[in-house]
């Protein structure tokens, strides 16, 4: 396996093939990873479990110095027993819907498969700051392996700068989650004939009393839950996972074992709720059992403890992860990860950020979109750029820091970029051009960014601020145009300091088309993806399809898809049978895409949404997804897509995923970008 080169998908295929269900050993996977790393000259260390049947692994690529980045993932997966899979869960399968299926694709082998596949690139970069791998066992049954792994790394690895836990977040940044305590309580009663209940003690009956008690406490917690919590549900939550007991239907059960636990909010003592329940068992329930028979008893053991992950102290990790992922979203989740363990043990800023959607985790037919693999690869590449030494020269004039601003119709966003283009800070406010108080653009800009002005030598503003309704008009530049052409047509508000970026215009069959703001995103995505040719798609209210050749936009088309969806779903007869707020239904969505390709035209097919609903063939939730597929399918009907062609989709993650799903099903090679494309595009103009 010396120096073996494999891509991310092939590495994921190999890792999926290992059945690392938590009840099994993970040593075969660990041995493979250890041999693979050794083939690239990277030594790794193992932290075995007490019984020697499992092991954690940690390794370092780059110099053994401080301020590195830890990439953390767990090797175990949940069982597939009893789940109705359509494919072999241990064989990575790409289907025509653009999804890779297999147990662990989403949760969470894709993250470290991508990192492992990129080891040769890590080494080629001659990193100045190291990248540390941390692979654990038994995360799915209580983060059991992570404690020992984190402790060993704390003693043997120079203090890192940030830790990235690669659980599925759709490559958005998570800075907090609840903690979890899991207990096993064994109720021991006294056997007797089921007709002689006065002679015995049913362990199952008293276990039921305990479950009822937990439900009462849950009601109290729900009533006292904070009103403005970032968690949903907002309160701490109990769960009874399994109840096992009894011998036969005509015997009072001698034993009953209850697996139970709870998830607590950050900032609250993780043990407090559990201690309250244990006290109730001892002081309230046990005396009642022993009053029926003195041999009765209750024993409880703590199976696992996963500390809550609090947002405090994670700012540096958040800034880095947002810069590498391009996501402006920082949020929290209610599921648990190893983040709290690593943060507490190593004392290092930590975030959760990885490919895939947690909604697919633990499900039959678990999958990950190919576009999410690409997004994670881009994350890793930017991380490598950050870790590389920066070349300096006395003859080079340093590029000043840039204040990059995206000023649209409804919102105002800004980012402060360093000389290398890394995002240092981000701001946003609902102060789009239609919401500027008294039309005072200069005052609004100053109030928003005055603290950054002294640090930035240049400010570039894209979007509707350069329209006739904005700060000042920056006339459109005609296609074909690239960054150089745009830079020549900047509209200076303050010469040499503040400029508005012009939009682009194109004319097809004597009818003009325009974009303003999207052109910057296209140039940014070109820079991030390393592409000078391809098709660039920007979904939204008015979707754009732009063709790029030789680093220039040579033409584009606009489709009123988002606006049409809003009109149809909220202001037409379809609103009566459509729930546009419902989660996406992929099957209904793809059904709509397929329908758009059939004869009849959009107006006919749109009425079909109502007819299908009337005949109960579409639910309100499905109707919205079907309509969305119909409209997006109408866009695709007017495109020429060659098999394997490069298509870049730029925009908000939820909408981008819809387009990526369809494009990948058509055989396109899809790359996706979010807000990072805007910042990179403005940087290319500086």
pLDDT, tens only, 485-494:
999 999 999 9
584 found inside a domain? yes
Q: Look at residue 496 in the predicted model and tell me its pLDDT.
A: 86
Task: Provide the mean pLDDT of the chain.
Answer: 92
Q: For position 599, what pLDDT does the model report?
A: 92
| Residue 505 belongs to some domain of the structure | no
pLDDT at 252 over 90: yes
Phi and psi based region of residue 104 (left: phi greater than 0; alpha: psi -120 to 50; beta: remaining): left
- Mean pLDDT score, 621-644: 90
* pLDDT tens, position by position, 115-131: 999 999 999 998 999 99
In the block, residue with structure tokens 């400010």? 459
User: Does residue 257 share a domain with residue 337?
Assistant: no
**Which pLDDT score, from 0 to 100, does residue 604 have?**
96
Q: Do both 683 and 623 map to the same domain? A: yes
Same structural domain, 651 and 592: yes
Tokens describing residue 26: 């993970």
pTM for the model: 0.63
| Calpha distance 508→333 (Å, rounded) | 47
CB 371 within 8 A of CB 660: yes
**Which residues are within 8 A (CB) of 663 and not within 5 positions of it... i.e. 6 or more apart?**
98, 537, 636, 641, 647, 649, 670
Give the SS3 label for residue 267: coil
Q: Write out the H or E segment, with its range, that includes residue 646.
A: strand 646-650
**Peptide bond just before 233 cis, omega within 30 deg:** yes
Same domain, 72 and 219: no
How far apart, in Å, are the Cα atoms of 682 and each of 458, 470, 496? 11, 18, 15
Q: Which of 141-145, 301-305, 554-558 has the highest mean pLDDT?
A: 554-558
Query: Each residue of 229-242: pLDDT tens digit?
Result: 878 888 999 999 99
The domain total for the chain is: 4
**pLDDT one-digit tens code per residue, 458-488:** 999 999 999 999 999 999 999 999 999 999 9
491: domain range?
400-500
pLDDT for the residue numbered 2: 63
CA angle, residues 409, 411, 414, in degrees to nearest 5: 120
Class of residue 430 by CB neighbours under 10 A (exposed 0-12, middle 13-18, buried 19+): exposed
Q: How far apart are the C-alpha atoms of 557 and 545, rounded to whole Å? A: 5
Which of the listed residues 387, 417, 452 is the one where a domain comes to its end?
387
Q: How confident is the model at residue 34, as a pLDDT?
A: 97
What's the CA gap between 558 and 568, in Å, rounded?
18
Instruction: Give the CA dihedral 228, 231, 234, 238, nearest 10 degrees.
Output: -170
- What is the C-alpha to C-alpha distance for residues 622 and 632, in angstroms, rounded to an integer? 15
Residue that wins the pLDDT comparison between 271 and 364: 364
Q: Can you tell me the distance from the alpha carbon of 683 to that of 521, in angstroms, rounded to the nearest whole number?
A: 11
- What tens digit of pLDDT does each residue of 47-105 get? 999 999 999 999 999 999 999 999 999 999 999 999 999 999 999 999 887 799 999 99
Question: What confidence category does residue 326 fall into, taking pLDDT thresholds of 50, 70 and 90?
Answer: confident
38 and 59 belong to one structural domain: yes
- The answer to the question of residue 507 being in a domain is no
Domain membership of residue 240 (yes or no) is yes
Nearest partner of 657 among 371, 379, 375, judged by Cα: 371
pLDDT number for residue 389: 66
Tell me what the mean pLDDT of segment 417-437 comes to: 86
Kindly report the CATH number assigned to the domain that includes residue 279. 3.30.70.360
The token pair at 200 is 């015995």
Q: What is the largest CA-CA distance in the chain?
A: 97
CB 60 within 8 A of CB 42: yes
Same domain, yes or no: 453 and 529? no
**Nearest-10 Cα torsion for 666, 670, 673, 679:** -120
Provide the token pair at 537: 């798609």
- 239 and 327 in a single domain? The answer is no
> In what order do the strands lie in the sheet containing 504-508?
477-478, 504-508, 511-515
My answer on whether 30 and 106 are in the same domain is: yes
- pLDDT-derived band of residue 391, with 50, 70 and 90 as boundaries? very low
Backbone angles phi and psi of 11, in degrees to 5: -65, -40
Instruction: Name the residue with higher pLDDT: 587 or 290.
Output: 290
Tell me the two tokens of residue 439: 């039309």
- The strands making up 93-94's β-sheet, listed across from edge to edge, are 93-94, 99-101, 367-369
Asked if residue 3 belongs to a domain, the reply is: no
- Local confidence band at 40 (pLDDT 50, 70, 90 cut-offs): very high
pLDDT score of 507: 95
Report the CATH number that the domain containing residue 115 is assigned in CATH.
3.40.630.10
> Do 170 and 26 belong together in one domain?
yes
User: Which pLDDT tens digit goes with each residue over 146-205?
Assistant: 999 999 999 999 999 999 999 999 999 999 999 999 999 999 999 999 999 999 999 999
Averaged over 548-570, what is the pLDDT? 95
Residues 321 and 371 in one domain: yes
What pLDDT shows up at residue 394?
Answer: 32
Quick one: pLDDT at residue 155? Answer: 94
pLDDT of amino acid 427: 87
CA distance 582 to 357: 17
Neighbour-count burial of 391, counting CB atoms closer than 10 A to its CB (0-12 exposed, 13-18 middle, 19+ buried)? exposed
Question: Burial code of 480-511, b = ≥16 C-beta within 10 A, e = fewer?
Answer: bbbbebbbebbbebeeeebbbbbbbbbeeeee
Single residue among 468, 500, 532 that ends a domain in this structure = 500
Neighbours of 641 (CB within 10 A): 13
- Residue 464 contacts residue 424 (beta carbons within 8 Å): no
Residue carrying the six token digits 């495109």: 639
């Amino acid at each position: 396996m010396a120096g073996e080169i494999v891509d991310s998908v092939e590495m994921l295929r190999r890792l999926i093939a290992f059945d690392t269900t938590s009840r099994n050993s993970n040593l075969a996977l660990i041995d493979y990873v250890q041999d693979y790393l050794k083939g690239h000259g990277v030594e790794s260390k193992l932290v075995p479990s007490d019984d020697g049947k499992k092991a954690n692994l940690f390794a370092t690529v780059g110099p053994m110095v401080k301020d590195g980045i830890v990439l953390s993932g767990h090797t175990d997966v949940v069982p597939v027993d009893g789940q109705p899979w359509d494919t072999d869960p241990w064989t990575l399968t790409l289907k025509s819907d653009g999804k890779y299926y297999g147990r662990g694709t989403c949760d969470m082998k894709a993250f470290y498969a991508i990192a492992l596949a990129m080891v040769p690139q890590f080494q080629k970069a001659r990193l100045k700051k190291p990248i540390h791998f941390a692979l654990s066992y038994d995360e799915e049954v209580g983060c059991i392996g992570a404690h020992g792994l984190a402790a060993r790394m704390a003693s043997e690895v120079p203090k890192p700068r940030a830790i990235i836990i690669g659980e599925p977040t759709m490559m958005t940044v998570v800075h907090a989650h609840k903690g979890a305590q899991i207990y096993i309580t064994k109720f021991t009663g006294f056997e007797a004939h089921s007709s002689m209940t006065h002679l015995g003690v049913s362990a199952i009956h008293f276990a039921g009393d305990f479950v009822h008690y937990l439900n009462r406490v849950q009601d109290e917690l729900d009533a006292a839950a904070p009103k403005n919590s970032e968690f949903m549900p907002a309160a701490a939550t109990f769960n009874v996972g399994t109840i096992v007991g009894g011998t036969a239907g005509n015997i009072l059960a001698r034993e009953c074992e209850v697996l139970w636990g709870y998830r607590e909010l950050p900032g609250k003592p993780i043990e407090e709720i559990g201690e309250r329940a244990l006290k109730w068992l001892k002081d309230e329930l046990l005396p009642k059992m022993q009053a029926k028979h003195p041999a009765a008893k209750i024993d409880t053991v703590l199976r696992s403890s996963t500390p809550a992950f609090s947002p405090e102290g994670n700012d540096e990790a958040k800034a880095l992860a947002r810069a590498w992922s391009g996501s402006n979203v920082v949020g929290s989740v209610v599921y648990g990860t190893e983040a709290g363990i690593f943060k507490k043990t190593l004392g290092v800023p930590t975030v959760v950020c990885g490919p895939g959607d947690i909604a697919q985790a633990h499900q039959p037919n678990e999958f990950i979109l190919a576009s999410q693999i690409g997004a994670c690869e881009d994350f890793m590449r930017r991380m490598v750029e950050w870790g590389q030494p920066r070349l300096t020269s006395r003859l080079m004039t340093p590029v000043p820091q840039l204040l990059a601003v995206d000023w649209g119709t409804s919102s105002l966003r800004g980012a402060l970029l360093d000389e290398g283009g890394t995002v240092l800070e981000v701001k946003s406010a609902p102060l789009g051009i239609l919401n500027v108080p008294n039309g005072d653009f200069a005052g609004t800009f100053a109030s928003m960014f005055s603290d950054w002005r002294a640090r930035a030598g240049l400010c570039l503003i894209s979007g509707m601020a350069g329209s006739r309704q904005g700060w000042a008009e920056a006339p459109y530049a005609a296609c074909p145009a690239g960054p150089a052409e745009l830079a020549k047509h900047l509209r200076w508000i303050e010469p040499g300091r503040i400029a508005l970026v012009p939009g682009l215009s194109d004319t097809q069959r004597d009818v003009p088309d325009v974009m303003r703001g999207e052109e910057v995103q296209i140039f940014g995505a070109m820079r991030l993806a390393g592409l000078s040719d391809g098709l660039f798609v920007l979904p939204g209210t008015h979707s754009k399809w732009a063709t790029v050749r030789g680093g220039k936009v040579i033409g584009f088309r606009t489709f009123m898809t988002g606006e049409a969806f809003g009109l149809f779903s909220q202001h037409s007869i379809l609103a009566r049978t459509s729930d546009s707020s419902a989660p996406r239904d992929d099957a209904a969505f793809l059904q709509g895409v397929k329908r758009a390709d059939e004869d009849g035209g959009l107006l006919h097919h749109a009425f079909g949404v109502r007819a299908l609903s009337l005949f109960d063939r579409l639910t309100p939730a499905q109707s919205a997804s079907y309509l969305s597929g119909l409209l997006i399918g109408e866009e695709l009907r007017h495109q020429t897509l060659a098999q394997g062609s490069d298509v870049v989709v730029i925009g908000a993650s939820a909408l981008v995923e819809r387009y990526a799903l369809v494009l990948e099903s058509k055989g396109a090679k899809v790359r996706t970008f979010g807000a990072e494309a805007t910042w990179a595009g403005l940087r290319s103009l500086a």
